[in-house]
Amino acid sequence: MDFDQLLMRFFGTVDLEGLSADALVAGTTRLRLQFGMEKDEERRFGLWCLMYMLGTAPEVDQAFVSEEDRDAAQEFADSVDADIEEAE
């Protein structure tokens, strides 16, 4: 999944900083709905990663059935968090 395409699909822009609060909530709602309906595990993972970066992802244990997917998601989350801490 291409990050910019995901942003365009759910938010109508690649510049989230320019979005109104209402537009951000609407895009996030669309993203969460798609995540809940998505059957393809790779796409679900990509959607979850975007939600995580936006601070709206469900807990790993709730989001993924397979242990492999849970481990990958936790590794992604830890990596993002480490990058944020390093930047501070």
Mean of per-residue pLDDT scores for the chain: 94
Closest CA to 30 of 17, 12, 3, 53: 12
Q: Which residues of 28-37 are buried (b: 16+ CB within 10 A; e: fewer)?
A: beebbebbee
CB-based contact 49:74 (threshold 8 Å): no
Structure confidence at residue 77 as a pLDDT band (50, 70, 90): very high
Report the percentage of the chain scoring pLDDT > 90: 90
Answer yes or no: pTM beyond 0.85.
yes
| Residue 68 pLDDT | 95
Residue range 22-39: mean pLDDT, rounded:
96
- Domain of 62 in residue numbering reads as 3-87
pLDDT at 84 over 90: no
Q: DSSP code of 1?
A: -
- Structural domain tally of the chain? 1
